[in-house]
Amino acid sequence: MEKELNQDNKENKEEVNKTLKESELNTENNKDDVQELEPEEKIKELEDKITRTLAEMENQRRRYEKEKEDAFEYGGFSFAREALNLIDNLDRAKQSLENDETLKNSEALKKTLEHLEILNKDLISIFSKNNIKPIESINKKLDPNLHQAMMEIEDDKKEPGTIMQEIQKGFTIKDRLLRPALVGVSKKSNNKDKKSEQNEEKPKDK
């Protein structure tokens, strides 16, 4: 029995020694592989890493500068758009007073409208100082980048697409659109189109 145990222990020791030798050989081979990268390849690898890192840092710097510039130039964009409601409310109040039959041609109406006009000019002046400017619309050609057509108005004297009415004033802030102008644009009248069709048909009948 003892002989068998001794034999088993001997075999186990041999197996362990064999495993240790194989492990040492693998470690030496790995060292050789690492040594193969040095020195030229190792230097190239480090240069590539440094180049990529520098490029990433430069991109981050540019993004930061752009974000900082936008924050400075357009940081009040949302506030400015909300503030336009003041001008809208003044315009509505003015129209409401002008349409009030009981106030028409009265001195009170005249003075009130004058005060509203002064307030409106003051607001526009404050906005202009902060690079918020109204969009020119009346008699201008419709520009989809600045105007939004809400209705069509028949007018044969104007070129189709000419702005005839300004429903709501639009504004820009620096080189960006803050709010498009809501407008009514001209179109040819249906009567003129029918006459043109009739004139085209007459020669065919002859």
Q: How far is CA 59 from CA 47, 49, 156, in A?
A: 18, 15, 56
The reported pLDDT for the residue numbered 10 is: 54
Question: What count of Cα atoms within 13 Å lies in the side-chain half-sphere of residue 194?
Answer: 3
- pLDDT bin (cut points 50, 70, 90) of residue 163 is very high
The ranges assigned to domains in the chain are: 2-71, 76-130, 134-190
- Collect all residues with Cβ–Cβ distance below 8 Å to 81 and sequence separation of at least 6: 178, 179
For domain 134-190, give the CATH number: 2.30.22.10
In the three-class reduction of DSSP (H, G, I as helix; E, B as strand; rest coil), residue 76 is classed as coil
* Distance between CA atoms of residues 202 and 11, nearest Å: 118
- pLDDT bin (cut points 50, 70, 90) of residue 99 is confident
With a pLDDT cut of 70, the percent of the chain lying above it is 70
Residue 20 CB neighbours (<10 A): 10
Model-level pTM?
A: 0.56
Mean pLDDT, range 62-79, rounded to an integer: 72
Distance of CA 180 to the CA centre of its chain: 14
List, in sequence order, the alpha helices (H) in the chain: 2-36, 40-74, 77-98, 107-129, 190-205
Beta strands 181-187; 147-154: pairing state:
parallel
DSSP class per residue in 108-166: HHHHHHHHHHHHHHHHHHHHHHTTEEEPP-TTSBP-TTTEEEEEEEE-SSSPTTBEEEE
Q: Taking 50 as the threshold, does the pLDDT of residue 3 lie above it?
A: no
The reported pLDDT for the residue numbered 14 is: 63
In the three-class reduction of DSSP (H, G, I as helix; E, B as strand; rest coil), residue 106 is classed as coil
Mean pLDDT, range 157-180, rounded to an integer: 90
